[in-house]
Structure 1
Amino acid sequence: MRKLRALNIIAFLGASLLSVSCSAETACEKEVFVCYTKEPTPLAVKLCEDYKGYYLEQFIVGDEQIDLSQQPIQFLKTSYHRSMVDEHSVAFQVQGTSITVSDYHSEELGEITDELSVTLIKNDKKQYFECGGESLSLLPSLDNSSS
């Protein structure tokens, strides 16, 4: 009887932890652009969309984390196309930092290149980051316009 009660408690706690972690992860209704990298400086950027529009859910550069409070952001989305090359970028500003996130795809010279990147400009200092393997982009699906 004690073993059964202990198993029920463990199962309940496990389910509770699972529901808490799932609800924490569902804060972002739709991830539009996610970038993680460790070089040259650790970077984490997550651009999300919900019924109110677009917002920056996560923005961490090195030891600096900006409190974003899910405020909607205004951005400009542009696209560049030529034979075998597509690039989609979204540019916006957050607390004095100009941020451009890009999705680049090329099939030139028989090589396929897919690259996600983030460019930051703050106090006239420009930093460029190539995103790592866990990154994702839905930038091509956005309309070319301001939001």
Structure 2
Amino acid sequence: MVARLRAAGPELAAFAAVGLCAYAADLGLFLWLRGPVGLDPLTAKALSFVAGCSVAYTGNAFGTYRQAPDGVPRLRQYGIFFAVNIAGALVQLLCLAVSHHGLGLTSRRADTVSGAGIGMALATVLRFWGTRTLVFRYRGAATAQVRQARQVARTTWTG
């Protein structure tokens, strides 16, 4: 397990870097659309969310998972990626709803912790899993190293 986590380090770091860029694009566009452009908050957020997803997909497709096997059309990959990101957004909303309405924790701090803290952490785990297993079907260095270690273990045991 430790070897698997260690081998996945570069993948996790790349995924996080892409995620930060996507978050910056989402936030920057949202602020611009709400401010100078003057759009209502839901329209601005919907547009900035799509832009953030596009930045994240591009960064992951041509960066983090560029070694992933091809064979799936890019538009289909993007559609699955977008669905995974919608699921992540729903996880964040669910955490906020449970905290605010279910547990009665209604302060701004509680909303921030549940939505942007706990919700974001859980959504990131879901997005990472979904991106690597559903979108790019990545078998990266971690899996290759584990297979190699198992093969060495088998040959050592059998003699």
Q: Which has the higher helix share?
A: 2
Larger RCO: 1 or 2 (CA < 8 Å, sep 6+): 2
TM-score (norm 1): 0.22
Greater strand fraction, Structure 1 or Structure 2: 1
